[in-house]
Chain A
Amino acid sequence: TQLLEQSPQFLSIQEGENLTVYCNSSSVFSSLQWYRQEPGEGPVLLVTVVTGGEVKKLKRLTFQFGDARKDSSLHITAAQPGDTGLYLCAGVDNYKLTFGKGTLLTVNP
């Protein structure tokens, strides 16, 4: 069984702070995706990483994929209240997504 462990489980910070959340897999997937899920909504895809060592930036969000393609991190610079939500990583094999439990981020004004 392929497992994705995310840490921390909960994170509460003040507006303007930086943060990093982590996703570690027990095995290698063909690619890895990060999603944000806001209360009362479904997950929304933020990024897909495919190549070991890959770094992708989306405004204040930086995504890294480990060289061995089993771990990934999401770094947010100068967090804003609008960044509040559940951040999920998901391993992709063909069509199938295997999700971690997520990191629940709260950014306080």
Chain B
Amino acid sequence: EAGVAQSPRYKIIEKRQSVAFWCNPISGHATLYWYQQILGQGPKLLIQFQNNGVVDDSQLPKDRFSAERLKGVDSTLKIQPAKLEDSAVYLCASSFPGRGKTQYFGPGTRLLVL
């Protein structure tokens, strides 16, 4: 069974530029999560989708970050404009819907903002 796919794997941009990340969840997983993992820290939830609706975006910096999941499958996370402190690994995870369902993580996109 294919896992969670993410692209690109690495991205280097300059501050104030824009960047977008793509995630394809495991087939059949209605719930999709985006996490930010800064070096030396654990992942922090940015946004959770159930199908194409947002369940929780309380920790998403909405002035610069946006995410969408238009058809309830793939998702994109965008940063515009990027700041130095956005340098991190952006992880996508997916799960079946419901409490206590195991989240499966993709390999992440490593972003460096110069």
- When A42-B91, A42-B107 are in contact, do A95 and B42 touch as well, CB less than 8 Å? no
Question: Which chain B residues numbered 62 to 114 have a C-beta less than 8 Å away from chain A?
Answer: 91, 93, 95, 99-103, 105-108
Residues of B within 8 A of A100 (CB): 42
> Does A40 make an interface contact (CB < 8 A)?
yes
- Report yes or no: B43 in contact with A99, Cβ–Cβ below 8 A: yes
A-B interface contact total, Cβ < 8 Å: 49
Chain A: number of interface residues, binned into ranges? 20 to 34
B91–A92 touching, CB < 8 Å: no
Complex CA distance for A88 and B44, rounded to whole angstroms: 12
Across the interface, which residues of B come within 8 angstroms of A102, CB to CB? 41-42
C-alpha spacing A41/B59, complex, angstroms: 23
Q: Give the distance to chain B from A72, nearest Cβ to Cβ, in Å.
A: 14
Contacts A42-B93, A43-B43, A99-B43: A92 and B100 contacting too (C-beta < 8 A)?
yes
> Which residue numbers of B lie inside 8 Å of A, CB to CB?
4, 31, 40-45, 48, 55-56, 91, 93, 95, 99-103, 105-108
